[in-house]
Chain A
Amino acid sequence: DGGITQSPKYLFRKEGQNVTLSCEQNLNHDAMYWYRQDPGQGLRLIYYSQIVNDFQKGDIAEGYSVSREKKESFPLTVTSAQKNPTAFYLCASSPLDSTNEKLFFGSGTQLSVL
């Protein structure tokens, strides 16, 4: 089955700890994205990547880091600098077609602070 796999489904972070959220896709999409979703708020873009070994900051990149070493993988690290990390994190991908901006989402990771 083609799709986007996020893991883990639930993650707990201690104070001062870095944690990494995994995102893997087998859709052969060029672009991948990380969004943060807080209750009652829209999705806010953290980072995105349109090609391997290249990525750009979104609207709320502070306290986060990413890498794109393979087309299929786009892990997100929530660093200790992110003071309010509790949220639902969504990974998405899309083909880089000039007429197609449709995002396909994973099932999300809920991150909570202990």
Chain B
Amino acid sequence: QKEVEQDPGPLSVPEGAIVSLNCTYSNSAFQYFMWYRQYSRKGPELLMYTYSSGNKEDGRFTAQVDKSSKYISLFIRDSQPSDSATYLCAMGKAAGNKLTFGGGTRVLVKP
């Protein structure tokens, strides 16, 4: 079993809809959590970074962490065609330690 599980999709939504993405993990040692967005054949770019359980909002993006359930989510409100990309979750156990990535979810936002 992988340490981090993420549905590969694709997840197809109409423009303006809410996109809901999630990852589950098995190791309670993970302390901080990130979401990256990756356009086709490009490097991932950091979207959200959270350390504690709860919600963090940045513009149209909300990251949610539930450490008791070992479950993290990313919500994208008012989705745009430019949000079409692969979204990768990543998590780390401690500062200075390497990150563990999910496999990524491909999202398609149709005009």
Contacts and interface: CB of A to CB of B under 8 A. Distances in A.
Interface in A18-60: 33, 40-45, 48, 50, 58
B42 A107 contact: yes
Contacts of A4: 43
Interface in B71-111: 88, 90, 92, 95-104
Contact of A102 (B49, B88, B96, B102): B49
B42 A108 contact: yes
B32 A101 contact: yes
Interface residues of B, number: 26
B4 interface: yes
Contacts of A45: 98
Contact of B103 (A40, A103, A104): A40
Main secondary structure of the interface of A (DSSP, over half): strand
Contacts of B99: 101, 103
Contacts, number: 61
A90 B43 contact: yes
Contacts of B97: 101
Nearest to A59: B98
B8 A103 contact: no
A99 interface: yes
Nearest to A100: B95
Contacts of A43: 44, 88, 90, 101
Contacts of B90: 43, 103
Contacts of B88: 42-43
Given A42-B104, A43-B101, A58-B98, A101 B92 contact: yes
B41 A103 contact: no
B96 A98 contact: yes
Interface in B9-60: 32, 34, 41-46, 49
Given A43-B88, A43-B90, A107-B41, 20 more contacts: A4-B43, A33-B98, A40-B8, A42-B4, A42-B6, A42-B88, A44-B101, A88-B41, A90-B44, A97-B95, A98-B96, A101-B32, A101-B34, A101-B92, A101-B95, A101-B99, A102-B49, A104-B46, A108-B42, A110-B41
